[in-house]
């Protein structure tokens, strides 16, 4: 019989669930990755992430801002321009994203096809 404490310990950590709730959405990690290099204007972000629509980029930036990872700054014009930068919390993701990149280079060399030893 499984004790209640052991059952709870086997559940997914709520912090991990929150991370994947945000980063499990398409484009989110790529936006943060681009912003790790420094502040960027909306148009620059759009160019740096091929395939993302303006609406999706706007939605993801809004979500990242609400999560406290991105700051939206309006630059006085003319022309009026909006730039985005990572907060301290957003910049703290740098080591984790770099590690994920290294993992992908090692284990996803064929664009997502895992080596034979990892297939079940």
Across the chain, mean pLDDT equals 86
Enter the tokens of residue 48: 């740096």
Give pLDDT, residue 119: 46
Global pTM? Answer: 0.78
Given a cut of 70, is residue 4 above it in pLDDT? no
Kindly indicate the confidence band of residue 57, based on its pLDDT and cuts at 50, 70 and 90. very high
Domains of the chain, earliest start first: 4-106 (1.10.10.10)
Rounded average pLDDT over 70-85: 91
Give pLDDT, residue 120: 43
């Amino acid at each position: 019989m499984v004790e209640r404490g052991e059952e709870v310990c086997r559940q997914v950590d709520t912090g991990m669930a929150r991370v994947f709730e945000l980063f499990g959405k398409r484009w989110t990690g790529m936006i943060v990755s681009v912003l790790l290099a420094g502040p960027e204007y909306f148009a620059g972000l759009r160019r740096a992430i091929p395939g993302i629509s303006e609406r999706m980029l706007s939605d993801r930036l809004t979500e990242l801002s609400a999560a406290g990872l991105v700051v939206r700054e309006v630059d006085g014009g003319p022309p009026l321009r909006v730039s985005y930068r990572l907060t301290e919390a957003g910049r703290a993701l740098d080591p984790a994203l770099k590690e994920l990149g290294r993992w992908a280079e090692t284990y996803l060399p064929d664009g997502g096809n895992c080596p034979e030893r990892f297939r079940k």
